[in-house]
Amino acid sequence: MRAPHYTLLLVTLGAVLLVSCVVSLGFGPARVPVDVVWHIVLHKLFGIGEVNWSAGQEHIVWLIRVPRMLLGALVGAGLALIGAVLQAVTRNPLADPHLLGVTSGATLGATLGAVIVVLHVGEIIGLLTLPIAAFIGALLSMLLVLVIASRQGRLDSDRLLLCGVAVSFVMMAVANTLLFLGDHRASSAVLFWMLGGLGLARWELLAIPSASVLLGLILLLGMARPLNALMAGEQTAVTLGLNARNVRFRVFLIASLMTGVLVAISGSIGFVGLMIPHIARRLVGAEHRRLLPVSALLGSVFLVWVDVAARTLIAPEDLPIGVATAAIGGLFFMGLMRKR
């Protein structure tokens, strides 16, 4: 794709994302007209316009739906970025952020937090108790997978994926056992991490995922050339003087930390990192300096609209967003398997 066409694509996707973010705020159990949404957002951001809406509409849009929409856009962008780089370093088109065992570690951490800390000790740091417990579990899970997968100082990508799957099964078994034997009041809290959702979105919780996704994008864009070389094969990378093991380790570390942060707030939202990079490659090819920004924008647009479907299909209840992405991703996966 030529540079002008690529620039036009980025501008188009950015415009689609902006329109999607504004329009999506009107959907939900309580419908809010788009023009009212637009005036509320402009008034809150820039102090423009007269107040001709109710306090309830302002509360719904600004305090509930805007943080949720922003979190959805961040999680979609982050998971798409992680999926794109994991597929490159593993040379596996089915690689997904959750294959590293990070999601199951977050679920186990949230389970321990719910069963031990919240129910028996009380919420120590309020709303952040379970997200922090989930992040600690994700981080420990990632470190465990890296330790098991390392062999004589080498980190083989296939071995890493297999270790991630094995650790996931073990940690989910422990989490399910704790839920079965423990207080059943913890089940509803932990179910959020198992099924995924954006219900924890609050303005005060957006800083960490925002910094994580932005920093991850910058670091991964800086590794675009090594990622391109790894996509071409191990021998090509070595010929170019690339230390493939170090590049893989750095990518796995960045991907795991990003996944841990996102999963700690949004729970397990699968298949975004599997689907979106394939769609982005159809648009711009496999060159990562172009692929990563397009993947991030597509992931944001996708998850914003999936969240709209999740909160409107069975309104006034919320459909867990992980259920919606699993349904869409399963169909995509079957189509991918038929073609390849």
* pLDDT score for 308: 92
Q: How far apart are CA 34 and CA 19, in angstroms?
A: 10
pLDDT confidence of 19, banded at 50, 70, 90? very high
Q: Give the tokens for residue 244.
A: 């493939």
∠ Cα 290 198 284 (to 5°):
15
**Residue 80 in contact with residue 44, Cβ under 8 Å?**
no
For residue 2, give the 3-state DSSP assignment.
coil
Q: Give the tokens for residue 140.
A: 């420990």
| 154-155/150-151 β-pairing | antiparallel
More confident call, 321 vs 239:
321
Taking 90 as the threshold, does the pLDDT of residue 80 lie above it?
A: yes
Taking 80 as the threshold, does the pLDDT of residue 109 lie above it?
A: yes
Q: DSSP character for 49? A: S
Q: What are phi and psi of 115, to 5 degrees?
A: -75, -45
More confident call, 200 vs 118:
200
Q: Tell me the angle at which helices 224-232 and 288-312 cross, rounded to the nearest 10 degrees.
A: 90
Average pLDDT over residues 99-113: 80
Per CATH, the architecture of 3-22+69-339 is what? Orthogonal Bundle (1.10)
> What pTM did the predictor assign?
0.88
Taking 90 as the threshold, does the pLDDT of residue 31 lie above it?
A: no
pLDDT confidence of 229, banded at 50, 70, 90? confident
Q: How far apart are CA 325 and CA 270, in angstroms?
A: 6
Task: With residue 154 as reference, give the H or E element that holds it.
Answer: strand 154-155
- What are the residue ranges spanned by the domains of the chain? 3-22+69-339
